[in-house]
Amino acid sequence: MAKNNLLGGALWDAYSNEVSRRMDNPTHLGVLTEEDAKARGARLIVADYGAEACGDAVRLYWLVDEKSDTIIDAKFKSFGCGTAIASSDMMVELCLGKRVQEAVKITNLDVERNLRDHPDVPAVPGQKMHCSVMAYDVIKQAAGQYLGKDVADFEDEIIVCECARVSLGTIKEVIKLNDLKSVEEITNYTKAGGFCKSCVRPGGHEAREYYLVDILKEVRAEMEEEKLKSQAQKSLEGSLAFSDMTMVQKVRAIDQAIDTHIRPMLMMDGGNLEILDIKEGGGFVDVYIRYMGACDGCASATTGTLFAIEGMLQDHLDEHIRVLPI
């Protein structure tokens, strides 16, 4: 399906390429049957979960080797939006090859992070974070069936909003990622507080341990403290020569320079890079990188592009920096 036929370009920019790909062509969509289980000497587990908050639903199929408790095959069927399909597809992928006891530790945050194109850029708009919660819950349903346990036995995450099944970790993450400043914004992004409203503030029909107003206040205070620390650190580093920085400061300076001057240029052409390691020795600082996307295998990756990256770091930081692709 063509992106522009469904959503405006600005909104599509909020979705990672990985999410878009899995929306259109999910890898693990399908059904597993008792015949499949018999043919592979495995046990079939079928679990369902429906999210009343948004009307989406997912069915998860596992084939489990009972000798090792390993999930040897998995499929899903999803009834809902494209983000729910992409999240379910990634959820299945994360389950494959794991023991059931390990798979149950997969969270909605794990699903979302694995859908990102870049570690620091959310895979979906904040208001779609709740779609990955379904994946998180259906895994627990399947594990409960297989291990003969109640789903509550697997609840490591603190659930703040029972109506939308939104965890404390998700709410904190969304506030930080999207610089949210009001409870209304939290509700728009996560669905938390959008239904019975008991989790918004004290005084609702059901007392809660955590309230959105308090979580927001706490996270905003943490963000402000981190901001002040970052400003102080930047001020200190700005007054230091690169050669006088600690290794941690050098790593931060290199990463910031690449984010500012190189990464946007690469991403315009569908490419990217990641820093694998930084080492000092022989009077040089060697930066080991790996090309990604369109840059991987590009003819200029070891010539023009490489020289441009290295030259930028030498111009902005230190002439003794070398860049080595791996």
Please state the residue numbers annotated as binding site for Fe cation: 54, 81, 131
Instruction: Copy the structure tokens of residue 138.
Output: 């259906």
Catalytic residue selected from 54, 95, 295, 298: 54
**C-alpha count within 13 angstroms, C-beta hemisphere, residue 65:** 11
295 as an active site residue: the answer is no
Are 139 and 201 spatial neighbours (Cβ–Cβ below 8 Å)?
Answer: no
Give which of 89, 68, 78, 73 is closest to 16, Cα–Cα: 89
Determine contact, residues 219/248, Cβ cutoff 8 Å.
no
Q: Are 118 and 130 in contact (CB under 8 A)?
A: no
Phi, psi of 307 (to 5 degrees): -65, -35
User: Out of 95, 131, 295, 298, which one is annotated catalytic?
Assistant: 131
Structure tokens, 219: 């996270």
Interatomic CA distance for residues 22 and 42, integer angstroms: 27
Sign of the alpha-carbon dihedral angle for 64, 65, 69, 73: negative
Detail the residues annotated as belonging to a binding site: 54, 81, 131, 161, 163, 196, 199
The torsion angles phi and psi of 118, rounded to 5 degrees, stand at -135, 140
Residues involved in catalysis: 54, 131
